Amino acid sequence: MERAVLDQLADYFKSRLARYPTTLSEDESLLADPTLNPKKRVATQLVRSEKKMLTACLQAAVDLIDQLPDHTVSPCPAPYAPIFK
């Protein structure tokens, strides 16, 4: 059951990161521009922080998955698998 939950969490974090139109490195490059509009700078800093949190959470889930005894896929035993939004 742990693997099923961690797999769902990892998938959720991946899908959230995939929705952003830019990557974290693209945001870093954008913020390096001294002529960037101040409003765009603040918005990019906020989005960058969100991406860093999601990336850290994804890495934590992957690390926990790697600590499990084996790598077999385990479906969620619940009557239905919850969908995170």
Q: Which residue has the tokens 């969490």?
A: 9
Does 80 have pLDDT greater than 60? no
* Domain chopping of the chain, boundaries: 1-67
**Nearest CA-CA partner of 16 in 64, 57, 46, 45:** 57
Query: What is the per-residue pLDDT across 15-64, written as a single tens digit (0 to 9) for each?
Result: 999 999 999 999 999 999 999 999 999 999 999 999 999 999 999 999 99
Query: Is the entire prediction scored with pTM above 0.95?
Result: no
For residue 81, what pLDDT is reported? 58
Q: Which residue has the higher pLDDT, 20 or 73?
A: 20
Q: Using pLDDT thresholds of 50, 70 and 90, give the confidence band for residue 83.
A: low
For residue 73, with 0-12 CB atoms within 10 Å meaning exposed, 13-18 middle and 19 or more buried, which class applies? Answer: exposed
**Nearest CA-CA partner of 2 in 57, 73, 82:** 73
